[in-house]
Amino acid sequence: MHLPRSLHTPCVLAILIAPMVAVACSSESVTAPTVSQRAIIAARLDSARVGASAERAAQLLTILQEIALGAPIGTVRLSVNGKTTTYPMVASYDVQAVAGRPFDSLYLVDAWSGAAADTIWVIAYYRAALVGFVTNDTALGAPPTTVTGGVTPSAAFGSCVALRTQVPQDVTVPFGFGCQRQNVATEMSGRITVPGGTLDVTVPSQTIAGVRLLANAP
């Protein structure tokens, strides 16, 4: 997929197939933050980019760009080896179109744990379901042969509340995207092999609130 911005870099999908080591995650719940609260969360996530690995810094930038473009901060439930935790997250359904006709899309959920987003879970759908995570030490994804699931987007509705001027100045905010609210029903599962065992990661059936970002070429 080729999007005319830096929001989704090639490493996003590469992260999901890299064989590395897993770490445990803690939980944090953020419910419907206001604009000012979103700006505070964005500043905290931006500070976490300092000293971060290239992979984690790239995912943090993706989150910040989505917030700037109008993505709300919601929650998603993930289950790891049978333990279900609720994480704060941002979600976007990125659509590329020519003359109003969509021809490619990527669905992406970035969920994080810890005040400094020490672990970022990446849930995606690009022609197939993808599940993985990023930390400062590792980037790990479930092999495609172990991943099942899909997404069902609702019709886009309403307008987005962008934070272009409220995010930190070092966050490059891409232009050329229309933004509307969108809910996506999803359910996924995948198995990640780690030294000494496996992680069975499940996204239980749920509807995730996010945005639809449309890049429309004439």
CB 36 within 8 Å of CB 161 = no
User: pLDDT at position 89, please?
Assistant: 97
196: Cβ contacts below 8 Å, ≥ 6 apart: none
- 129-134 and 139-141 beta bridge pairing: antiparallel
Res 100: pLDDT: 83
List the domain range (segments joined by +) for residue 201.
Answer: 11-217
State residue 66 phi and psi, 5-degree precision.
-65, -40
What pLDDT is stored for residue 8 in this prediction?
41
Residue 5 falls within a domain, yes or no? no
CA distances (Å), origin 54, targets 49, 90, 136: 9, 20, 8
Q: Has residue 1 been placed in a domain?
A: no
Any domain includes 76: yes
pLDDT of residue 6: 34
**150, two tokens:** 């899909």
Structure tokens at 145: 């042969």
* pTM score: 0.83
Does 64 map to a domain?
yes
pLDDT for residue 66: 96
pLDDT at site 114: 85
Count the domains in the chain. 1
Q: Do residues 210 and 90 make contact, with C-beta atoms less than 8 angstroms apart?
A: yes
Distances (CA, A) of 165 to 34, 168, 172, 178: 15, 8, 11, 17
In a domain, 87, yes or no: yes
| Residue spans of the chain under pLDDT 50 | 1-30
In a domain, 3, yes or no: no
Q: Which of helix, strand or coil describes residue 212?
A: strand
Distance CA 88, CA 169 (A): 23
- The predicted pLDDT at position 32 comes to 59
Q: Does some domain include residue 197?
A: yes
Residue 15's pLDDT is what? Answer: 37
